[in-house]
Amino acid sequence: MKSRPGEAVSTSGGGLRAMFDATRETRFDLPVQMSAQGPLAAGWMVLGVLALIASGVFSVLLVLSRTPHLSGIVPGADFFHVALVVHVDLSVLVWFVAMAGMLWTINGSSRWLGLGWFALWAAAIGTLVIAVSPFVGASIPIMSNYVPVLDSPVFLYGLAVFGAGFALLTVRAFVAPARASYALDGADAQRFGLKAAAVSAAVTLLAMAWSLIEVPRTLEGKEYYELLFWGPGHVIQFTWTLLMLVAWAWLATLCAARLAISARVVVIIYGIGLVSVFVAPLIYFAWPIVSIEHQKMMTWLMRFGGGLAILPMVLAVGAAMLGAKDAPVGDDDGRDLRPLRMALWTSLVLFTVGGGIGFLIQGSDVRIPAHYHGSIVGVTLALMGLVYALLPRLGFAAPSGRLARLQPLLYGGGQLMHILGLLWSGGYGVQRKVAGAGQVLRSTQEVMGMGLMGLGGLVAIIGGMAFAWIVLVSLIGARARRA
């Protein structure tokens, strides 16, 4: 019986062993077609980078407003909350959706391109409206979890248009799939992971529609939006997590790190995350959205369903990277692999630290943002590394030079300082979602913790802006060469 390169052959009594026997040729890589969908994938990439640039501007104001002795520079706590809303929505919601659009386009066919471009433009217009909304009329910030909002017609219009773009993007992921393969090699495993992420996004949209129908319109302010986004916000985390797992396996392959698990096991890991998603509709059926039971069950679903899929990948990718520490610093085409390796390492560390902090949360203090900053930044760093890897495949210059190598360390290291400062201060009871004098920093330890948070945040901002600069130089340089 012959096998494709990278496939383990099942022999009598050796089927289980074959599932865990990964060979040197197994590559968790996907081809990038430079045809009609190439420009569309690049368009989603550009949208994500521009969203990070805009969120970085708002994050400067956020860090200053929380840093002792510097908080007086910004207008005040009200502006802190307005900036926080826009920063979170741009750096999490828009960035992640744009990266999903890039990866689903790469994993798709050239069918329904018009729908793809319409989805991109809708998402871009919605993003622009969200970014300018704080400067157009009065805005009342509502700090709802997962999707904070500004209670203003302009912001809500932008959010609705962006949501429509996300819905169309998800639809196209199903109507324009790549050609199916039954070889179950590394590429097939990656395609399955991306399709699983699309299924999770579809369930998120279902949960959003369900919440819109069921949440009473008589509720106002934070109570309404908290209930509205609670269910969809928990489900969408599986989409982001699956994208991160795909990025980890992809980057490990490009960094010459051989996973000690086969494509079949990777599919099983992705499948665990996918199966967990289907529990969400059962929770909607069993408990009303306004009930405490509904909220608790959605929290437990995200905590345990995601953990079952993440832990084995953390161990497998971490071990693979340790085994490849002496691998060449460049690939066969002479491209520098060090930015990819640093992005992958920092992603693994930040996501692990963020997950660990989640078990230390007690009450509503700044340990909560320390937890989700670690997790979110872990996803972001994985996707940043994948952007670096995909730039030359989409026809742009490959990132190189010292800044590209240091950028993941700046961003990841700064964020690590940021969340450790929050963890430190949270242990002394500093409350979340407050700034300036509202933080009531009484002790030297609280001031030092929030000072570390501020310093780390500023370093992370520099790292984020460095990423945007590196990508823009690559995009603009390629355009200049074509001209």
CA dist 455 and 450 (Å) reads 9
Query: Can you tell me the mean pLDDT for 91-115?
Result: 92
Beta bridge partners of 142: 149
Six-digit token string for 104: 């689903």
Q: How far apart are the first and last CA of the chain?
A: 52
- 158-173 average pLDDT score: 96
pLDDT of residue 390: 92
Q: In this predicted model, what pLDDT tens digit does every residue of 384-437 receive, in sequence order?
A: 999 999 998 888 888 878 899 999 999 999 888 878 877 766 554 554 544 444
Could you give the CA distance from residue 72 to residue 83 in angstroms, rounded to a whole number? 15
- Report the alpha-carbon distance of residue 57 to residue 90 in Å, rounded: 11
d(CA 59, CA 91): 9
pLDDT given for residue 367 in this prediction: 63
| Percent of the chain whose predicted confidence (pLDDT) is above 90 | 38
Average pLDDT over residues 59-84: 63
User: Distance (Å, rounded) from C-alpha 313 to C-alpha 348?
Assistant: 10
Among the residue ranges 12-16, 149-153, 217-221, 282-286, the one predicted with the least confidence is 12-16
Is the pLDDT at 155 greater than 60, yes or no? yes
Other beta carbons less than 10 A from residue 395's beta carbon: 16
Distance CA 379, CA 232 (A): 18
Higher pLDDT, 230 or 3: 230
The CATH class of the 33-179 domain is mainly alpha
Q: Predicted confidence band at 328 (pLDDT cuts at 50, 70, 90)?
A: low
The Cα 480–Cα 28 span in angstroms is 33
Lowest mean pLDDT among 70-74, 90-94, 120-124: 70-74
Q: Residue 4: pLDDT above 50?
A: no
Q: What is the pLDDT of residue 326?
A: 66
Q: Is the pLDDT of residue 457 over 70?
A: yes
Q: What integer is the mean pLDDT of 330-342?
A: 77
Is residue 68 scored above 70 in pLDDT? no
pLDDT of residue 214: 92
Does residue 480 carry a pLDDT above 80?
Answer: no
For residues 439 and 450, the answer to whether their CB atoms sit within 8 Å is yes
Contact in structure between 134 and 158 (CB atoms under 8 Å)? no
Please state the rounded mean pLDDT for residues 107-118.
89
Residues comprising the chain, all counted: 483
Over residues 116-138, mean pLDDT: 92
Predicted model pTM: 0.85
The per-residue pLDDT for 248 is 95
Give the side-chain half-sphere CA count within 13 A for 158.
Answer: 23
The 10 Å CB-count burial string (b at 16+, else e) for 349-368 is bbbbbbbebbeeeeeebbbb
| 274-305: burial string, b at 16+ Cβ within 10 Å, e else | bebbeebeebbeebebeeeebbebbeebbeeb
Q: Using the predicted structure, report yes or no on whether residue 14 has a pLDDT greater than 60.
A: no
Buried/exposed 87-111: b ≥16 CB within 10 Å, e otherwise:
bbbbbbbbbbbbbbbbbbbbbbbee
* Residue 263 or residue 324, greater confidence: 263
Spatial CA neighbour of 5 closest among 32, 23, 18, 29: 23
Among 60-69, 176-185, 265-274, 402-411, where is mean pLDDT lowest?
A: 60-69
Annotate 70-92 with three-state secondary structure.
Answer: CHHHCCCHHHHHHHHHHHHHHHH
pLDDT of 193 strictly over 70: yes
The pLDDT score that the predictor gives to residue 11 is 37
Higher pLDDT, 447 or 451: 451
